[in-house]
Structure 1
């Protein structure tokens, strides 16, 4: 789907900054990444443990529900699938929630996603990026440092999470932060799945 502009979108070469709440200030001593939910045993990983995981470099397209799309941003990060090595899932787990900090609450932000859509190189917890105008650099605090989840291009960007803090594994789908506020549970930009019902205000990451 690279280079395909979804309906209602415009192309930009900039990476706009939009987010809900305060910018999270990273503290390695207190930060950890939690894997929980429908798993045999919950796991918490330190920043050092997360950063020792195998790395993936992938060039992706981003589509924000505020109508901008940015093509060909290259990210380095940890593929979602790498975290599955740490947990034994209960039978029939088909969904996840990706969590991120919001106003000091490590689980204040969340987005729901189907598990089977996250097994490729395009579902990444990223920490650095580049494009044709920028060489490699760490993502900034406003972009989600130290770890930001970037979803596949078949989802609007709100299905990612800045300041990512954990994954909850689920047998049944349930709404995340913006889904609870009337936005689409599935959020496919190529089908313009923006809203579950009429919402008058755009405010997305």
Structure 2
């Protein structure tokens, strides 16, 4: 895996914890994951149904808009494309919003992403991780337990929704949580697309 530091970034050995709002307290009995929007039929998955989907391990680089980059972290999770296989999209779907919990609202946080960029092995809903300093471990609550989305490294990490709760499929792009506050819609760290 190529190790390329985007402009304005520094390399970190640690995985800093940054978030807004309260830390979500997982309750399997009430947790579910919703696939909705421009689809023929909505899908609602329980935690067990979600965790029974095929998983893979992928090693990725992460770049945070606050200027740190962490290379070579391995994650185990469900690829985005496995969830895409569960729905039939309406014609013309090109974007998604990935939702997560924020201050008690299961859809309070969201991040917009282009659908076509999420079909590879580096787009995962992750539950375990390791790096050269840490053996395999479950995500802790502050890092997004029970599930967190990790985007391809061509997006800043704010697109990596913690405490994920659903995917809305869209025909047109819409601003998410940070984008509505002036952050970049496209968020490519290699082009230093931090703000609009």
Instruction: Give the alignment's TM-score, normalised by structure 1.
Output: 0.95
Distance 1:102 1:3 in 2: 33
- Residue 174 of structure 1: aligned partner: 174
Secondary structure in 2 aligned to 1:86? coil
- Residue 29 of structure 2: aligned partner: 29
Aligned length: 196
* Structural mapping, 1:109-148, within 5 Å: 109-148=109-148
* Structural mapping, 1:36-185, within 5 Å: 36-185=36-185
Distance 2:67 2:10 in 1: 6
The alpha carbon displacement at 1:2 in A equals 2.8
CA contact (8 A) 1:62 1:69 kept: yes
The alpha carbon displacement at 1:71 in A equals 0.1
Distance 2:84 2:174 in 1: 20
Secondary structure in 1 aligned to 2:85? helix
CA contact (8 A) 1:100 1:110 kept: yes
Structure 2 spans left out of the alignment, 5+ residues: none
CA contact (8 A) 1:149 1:160 kept: yes
Q: Which whole-Å deviations, capped at 9, do the CAs of 1:144-195 have from their partners, x for residues lacking one?
A: 0000000000000001100000000000000000000000000000000000
CA contact (8 A) 1:58 1:75 kept: yes
Distance 2:184 2:4 in 1: 21
Distance 1:84 1:173 in 2: 18
Distance 1:184 1:119 in 2: 22
Distance 2:173 2:56 in 1: 28
Structure 1 outlier segments of 4+, above 4 Å: none
Distance 1:14 1:87 in 2: 37
CA contact (8 A) 1:41 1:87 kept: yes
Distance 1:9 1:100 in 2: 26
Secondary structure in 1 aligned to 2:83? helix
